[in-house]
Amino acid sequence: MALGGDGAFPGRPAPGTHAMTGGPGGDADVVVVGAGAAGCVVARRLADAGADVLLLEAGTAAASPRAGLLDIGPDSRVVARHPATLGDAVLELPRGRTVGGSGAVNGGYCAPARPADLEAWGPDWPRRYAVGLARAAERLRPRLAPMGPVAAWVAAAFPGRVAAVAQARSGERRVTAFDAWDPAGAGVRVRAGAAVRELSWAGGAVGGTGGARRCVGVALDDDEEITTRQVVLCAGTIGTTVLLLGSGIDRAGGHPVGDGVQEHPELLLDVPAGLAAAAAGLPPLLSHVVRLELPERERGWVPEIEVRPYAVPMHRVIPGLEEAPHRVGVALMNPVGRGRVHADGSVHLADDPRDATALAEATALVAERLGIDGAVTRSTSQHLSGAARIGEVCDDSGRVHGVEGLRVADASVLPALPRCGPYYSVLAVAEELAARVAAERAW
């Protein structure tokens, strides 16, 4: 869908002239912040339930014109870059800044969480997740792809260990949550180029003047104030942390926001170049993974490993990236280490020696089985989650503890990172939390 030059979607009011309801609920019944993976789900479902929903997206571009690619390269206009530290290394984490969010620029692999992942979330979650996932699957319809030569090569080295992973694609095009949930089609007022600066509080400050803390809206970067009964933060793990901390929801007030975030650390192993040449066109980057467990030995836990046979070298799918060797990823899916997101949007990625040891061991095993001796590059999976976890910062419905009118429904709320890519889980959880908001008619 193309954006009009004014930042509003066709048929929707232009910024600054948008038709505010101005009723007792304020300018909208519900303001959803961030039109990424979770935001599109929540906005659609609340509009379906009869709410007047305003969906605010900081990015100005309607979508990446390079929808089959990971448009995160140096000249991308659809990502924000966040500085991060990983041990001594300094790197940049790209996050989608466009409708569809990071789901518009990600690898697109969709794997559901496993039952054991969900049991750790709480007794109700296996059932709630299953319901949310079924709804998400109906909309996104991820598809399996044939096994290419690189995946076949890696699978052959680990008999019985390979699993197919579905892709959110239609042909060579990525299908984003914005495509699949089509919030504008349900009457949601979508505003791109609307970056939220902070939350607004009854009484003018967090805590307000008389007792309960009540969030009454948001202020945009250009000082525009928008009032509402219900704000749902879906700005992603980094964006939501920045907004919460910048609006006074922090550890000092009993909310451990940004603490203990989880990521899947990954090492990349150079592999022979010839294999990928056989993959024609633009195949899905990842159609299969190999799942391994390392022996417990004296470490007291069993590291779980995902081997990722990327179909082509990264420079074929990331525009503007310098030519790089073809690589296979080796990721630790149940890391011990925890990181932190700071109020300025910078990230400290966990660098736990136990994780490093397990990953090095796994990479050596993979190299040996594949019969290669390639260079190893340190990387990360871009799966950051858990900055405002259910149970710690939010309740089971995504309500921020002790605050009225404010919920979180994005990757920040995941109580623990599943042992797979989080995208499908973020969509499933957003479905479930949206169903709660709708059932409670929280507007």
Ligand X SMILES: Cc1cc2nc3c(=O)[nH]c(=O)nc-3n(C[C@H](O)[C@H](O)[C@H](O)COP(=O)(O)OP(=O)(O)OC[C@H]3O[C@@H](n4cnc5c(N)ncnc54)[C@H](O)[C@@H]3O)c2cc1C
Burial-class residue 439 by CB neighbours within 10 Å (0-12, 13-18, 19+). exposed
262 phi and psi angles, rounded to 5 deg: -115, 150
Tokens 């089959």, residue? 68
Q: 382-418 burial, b for 16+ CB within 10 Å, e for fewer?
A: bbbbbbbbbebbbebbbbbeebbbbbbbbbbbbbbbb
Interface mask toward ligand X for 287-326; x: CB under 6 A:
----------------------------------------
Which 183-222 positions form the footprint of ligand X (CB under 6 A)? Answer: 195-196
Which 379-398 positions form the footprint of ligand X (CB under 6 A)? Answer: 382-383
Q: How far is the CB of 310 from ligand X (least distance, A)?
A: 11
Tokens 């939390």, residue? 433
- Are residues 76 and 92 in contact, defined by beta-carbon separation less than 8 angstroms? no
Q: How far is the CB of 37 from ligand X (least distance, A)?
A: 4
Residue closest to ligand X (Cβ): 36
9 phi and psi angles, rounded to 5 deg: -85, 150
| Beta carbon nearer to ligand X, 56 or 331 | 56
CA distance 313 to 317: 8
| Beta carbon nearer to ligand X, 40 or 279 | 40
Binding piece for ligand X, criterion CB under 6 A, among 13-21, 94-102, 249-257, 357-365? 94-102
Interface mask toward ligand X for 34-73; x: CB under 6 A:
xxxxxx----------------xxxx----------x-x-
The answer to whether 423 contacts ligand X (rule: CB under 6 A) is: yes
| Beta carbon nearer to ligand X, 132 or 421 | 421
The answer to whether 142 contacts ligand X (rule: CB under 6 A) is: no
The answer to whether 181 contacts ligand X (rule: CB under 6 A) is: no
- Which residues are near ligand X by CB under 6 A? 33-39, 56-59, 70, 72, 94-98, 101-103, 105-109, 195-196, 234-236, 239, 243, 382-383, 410-411, 421-423, 426
